[in-house]
Structure 1
Amino acid sequence: MTAPAGARPLRAVRQAEPGKRPEGRRRQWAVVWLLSPAGLVMAAFSVAPVLFLVFTSFTDYNQRTLFTGEFSMVGTKQYADMFDDPEFWKSLVRSMLFTVTMVAGSITMGVGVAQLLTRLRTAMRMTVTVVLIFAWAMPNVASSLVWKWLFQPGYGVVNWLLTQMHVFGDMTNTDWGQSASLAYLSIWSLVVWQAVPFIALTLYAALTQLPLELPEAARLDGAGEWRVWWSVTLPFLRPTLLLVTIMSVIWDFNVFNQIWLVSAGGPDNATSTLGIFAYKTAFVSFRIGQGAALSVITTAILLGITAVYIRNLLRSGEDL
């Protein structure tokens, strides 16, 4: 088969331009060079510590190791000892139940605040938005300390307000940290208060993208406001709700500062979640190897939750 008149053979074209690289390969190398600084930072501060954590979980790292550097490989002994410890299972159950209640509370209140923002006038909406941003931007260590002062017996503002309401009796000297239920309630309210701003603003941003003709058409068909929200607004918010729910699960499952600063896991380990248990194991009892094993198990649980989210995200993309 002869080439068309005036056409140059492919070999001739390649010989005529020997130094020219294909455009696709050039773009690939550009992407690699642009991402390499971020990749090096992630490898140094994320991948390497995780690998060292996994390695440590198979050793007998302890207080002696910190001074002498000596340790021995013990295989899966740390994991076996951890699974035989009843306190591990109690901490795991506490973490799961506490995470469920915190995520449910923060998502419910976040949805309510987001809906409220859609009904406020511009000036009031901007005021509420600024207040939410300030609440969200406050460091959790500072907010936890302030929260603990609010619930202090004797001079705590919350105790004073509850006493003035004359509903629960005299609560002036009530120590919230010495009661398991009150300690959980205090920590729960603190975590939810910190989580609501992000959830509310994220959902409000999604609500602003809802086409106005959809709820209007539902109202013309005779649907009430609750039916419009359930059948139109909620399906539109489902991808964003899934995102903030998974992120809330990851954040709340890892809550440490708020619990440690408010109750230190007490009373009698009643608020000791996996994070508190791992910290006490590694840095109070100096069983660093077993603390590392606890952290590996926690990371595996969170990776499983993240995998579920990614799977659902890919499925939703295939359905579009």
Structure 2
Amino acid sequence: MTVDSQGTATAGSQDAPGRAAGKSQTPPPPSGAKEALQPSRGRRSLPGGLLPYLLVTPALLSMAVLLLYPLISNLILSFQSVNRRELIRRETPWVGFDNYTELLGNSEFWTVVVRSVAFTAANVALIMAIGTGIGLLLNRLGKKMRLVLSLALAFAWAMPIVASVTVFQWLFDEQFGVVNWLMRTLGFSGYEQHNWFETGFSTFVIITVLVVWGSVPFVALNMYAGLTTVGTELYEAARMDGASGWRTFWAVVFPNLKPFFMITTFLEVIWVFKAFTQVYAMNAGGPDRTTETLPVFAYIEGMSQQHYGVAAAISILTIVMLLVAMSFYFRLILKQEDEQ
């Protein structure tokens, strides 16, 4: 407060700058803020719910062209009688469910179904057991040895199927095969020009070795990736409790990686059940059609026997069997989610 020459107090003139300064501490918003937030009039943004559908449209269209259309055509063909005679005459008579009733009443078809299920079960069990063991080994190895083993697994996985079949045919060749030479070197008799593809059982053994060899890398590498997510404190706690390696696996590893085991087993069931190239390229389903699985059976009925309607019905029944397996798997997934 100051007093002028006339004795009047002039406090207001001193406080005004302070109030003005206090007001100036919060700068006004820029004049162009509203204009910057407003979209330009020449551009229209897509609705938020429409953009995801536009992004997946190319994938859906490609799947419809490559998968849905052949599936529908195959389904239609399964209700028609298309053999060599109809193919020459360009006729497609409708027979309804006759192809399906013929198959379901054919003992040969059920033999192939049982053979396919047994082949799938044996391969999946071996793939999961060996792949899990190698995955655990990768988790225990040092960095250099882990890199070497991982590269070997990747090379085996990347090997083209036809090339790997050719290598296995050479290994088990009757005259120049390495396996016959090795058996003779070890002192076993009866392996002078032994034919490993003489019986269906021995042929299936070779095919099983090939399928397991080509599928183990996928399980092993994914198993190792899953093990990296398990905390080391869990292993330390199990070790302090005196748990053995087997007990540690069932108490620590398996509960934490249960989703991995479920999805991997399910994928292997699908891949092995529909395996075609390994079985057909090895010995064309022989000898005497004793190594035919459902995909090979459908191919031979269609391309060799020219029973195209029956072959289409076989493929549709194969898809139905896989759908049953898928429903069982998804039921397990839903049950597990409810438990959590």
Deviation at 1:42, TM superposition (A): 0.4
Kindly provide the amino acid, as one letter, of the partner of residue 38 in structure 1: A
Among 102, 107, 126, the alignment partner of 1:86 is 107
Among 278, 283, 287, the alignment partner of 1:263 is 283
Deviation at 1:67, TM superposition (A): 4.3
Q: How does 1:46-65 map to 2 (within 5 A)?
A: 46-65=67-86
Q: How does 1:127-146 map to 2 (within 5 A)?
A: 127-146=148-167
Tell which deviates more after alignment, 145-154 or 190-199. Answer: 145-154
Percent identity among equivalent residues? Answer: 38
Given the superposition, is the C-alpha separation of residues 172 and 235 from structure 1 closer, same or farther in structure 2, using an over 3 Å criterion? Answer: farther
Residue 51 of structure 2 corresponds to residue 30 of structure 1: yes
> How many residues end up aligned between the 2 structures?
298
Which residue of structure 2 lines up, in the alignment, with residue 214 of structure 1?
Answer: 234
Q: How does 1:167-246 map to 2 (within 5 A)?
A: 168-246=188-266
Contact preservation (8 Å) 1:102, 1:188:
yes
- For residues 275-315 of structure 1, give each alpha carbon's deviation from its aligned partner in whole angstroms, at most 9, with x where no partner exists: 12111111111000000000000001011111221221222
In the alignment, the residues of structure 1 paired with residue 156 and residue 244 of structure 2 have an alpha-carbon distance, to the nearest angstrom, of 34
Which residue of structure 2 lines up, in the alignment, with residue 113 of structure 1?
Answer: 134
SS in structure 2 at match of 1:26: coil
Which residue of structure 2 lines up, in the alignment, with residue 273 of structure 1?
Answer: 293
Structure in which a larger fraction of residues adopt helix: 1
CA RMSD of aligned residues (A): 1.7
In the alignment, the residues of structure 2 paired with residue 84 and residue 191 of structure 1 have an alpha-carbon distance, to the nearest angstrom, of 31
Q: How does 1:290-309 map to 2 (within 5 A)?
A: 290-309=310-329
Tell which deviates more after alignment, 227-236 or 35-44. Answer: 227-236
Deviation at 1:83, TM superposition (A): 1.2
Tell which deviates more after alignment, 47-56 or 67-76. Answer: 67-76
Tell which deviates more after alignment, 260-269 or 72-81. Answer: 260-269
Which residue of structure 1 lines up, in the alignment, with residue 66 of structure 2?
Answer: 45
Tell which deviates more after alignment, 218-227 or 85-94. Answer: 218-227
Kindly provide the amino acid, as one letter, of the partner of residue 245 in structure 2: E
Kindly provide the amino acid, as one letter, of the partner of residue 181 in structure 2: W
In the alignment, the residues of structure 1 paired with residue 226 and residue 198 of structure 2 have an alpha-carbon distance, to the nearest angstrom, of 42
In the alignment, the residues of structure 1 paired with residue 64 and residue 150 of structure 2 have an alpha-carbon distance, to the nearest angstrom, of 36
Tell which deviates more after alignment, 122-131 or 168-177. Answer: 168-177
Residue 307 of structure 2 corresponds to residue 287 of structure 1: yes
Kindly provide the amino acid, as one letter, of the partner of residue 261 in structure 2: L
Kindly provide the amino acid, as one letter, of the partner of residue 79 in structure 2: F
- For residues 68-126 of structure 1, give each alpha carbon's deviation from its aligned partner in whole angstroms, at most 9, with x where no partner exists: 43211110000011112111011001000111100111111001100110111101101
Tell which deviates more after alignment, 51-60 or 302-311. Answer: 302-311
Which residue of structure 1 lines up, in the alignment, with residue 93 of structure 2?
Answer: 72
SS in structure 1 at match of 2:50: helix
Structure of greater Rg: 2
Structure 2 residues not aligned, in runs of 5+: 1-40
Q: How does 1:9-24 map to 2 (within 5 A)?
A: none
Deviation at 1:65, TM superposition (A): 4.2
Contact preservation (8 Å) 1:155, 1:172:
no
Structure 1 residues not aligned, in runs of 5+: 1-18
Larger RCO, structures 1/2 (Cα 8 Å, 6+ apart): 1
The TM-score normalised by the length of structure 1 is 0.89
In the alignment, the residues of structure 1 paired with residue 127 and residue 183 of structure 2 have an alpha-carbon distance, to the nearest angstrom, of 23
SS in structure 1 at match of 2:48: helix
In the alignment, the residues of structure 2 paired with residue 30 and residue 37 of structure 1 have an alpha-carbon distance, to the nearest angstrom, of 13
Deviation at 1:221, TM superposition (A): 1.8
In the alignment, the residues of structure 2 paired with residue 64 and residue 290 of structure 1 have an alpha-carbon distance, to the nearest angstrom, of 14
SS in structure 2 at match of 1:100: helix
